[in-house]
C-alpha cells in the first residue's frame, strides 16, 4: 500500500504502519514507497503503546505512528551523533 491508500482505508484515525520499502532523499526525508498498516487506533497514546511493544521485541523494524489527516507522512530522518548506551 501507499500512504494515500492507508488514508482512504482508515480516515481520521491513528495508524501504526511498517515501512516495507523506503528510502531517504537528499533533504533527509524518509520516503515510504510501500507500507503495511498494522493496526488503527482512535487515540495516539494507545497507538504509541502498541508501537513500543513491537519495537521492544524487534527494534530493527521500521515502524511509524501517524494520523491519516496528514496529506503526506513528512518523516525527517535525524542523524545521531555520539554514544548510545
List the one residue out of 40, 30, 42 whose CA is nearest residue 72: 30
Percentage above 70 pLDDT, the chain: 98
What is the pTM assigned to this prediction?
Answer: 0.89
Res. 84: pLDDT tops 70: no
Amino acid at each position: 500500500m501507499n500512504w494515500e491508500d492507508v488514508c482512504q482505508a482508515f480516515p481520521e484515525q491513528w495508524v501504526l504502519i511498517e515501512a516495507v520499502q523506503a528510502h531517504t532523499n537528499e533533504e533527509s526525508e524518509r520516503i515510504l514507497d510501500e507500507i503495511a498498516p498494522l493496526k488503527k487506533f482512535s487515540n495516539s497514546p494507545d497507538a504509541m503503546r502498541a508501537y513500543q511493544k513491537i519495537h521492544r521485541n524487534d527494534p530493527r523494524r521500521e515502524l511509524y505512528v501517524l494520523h491519516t489527516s496528514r496529506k503526506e507522512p513528512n518523516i525527517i530522518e535525524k542523524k545521531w551523533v555520539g554514544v548510545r548506551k
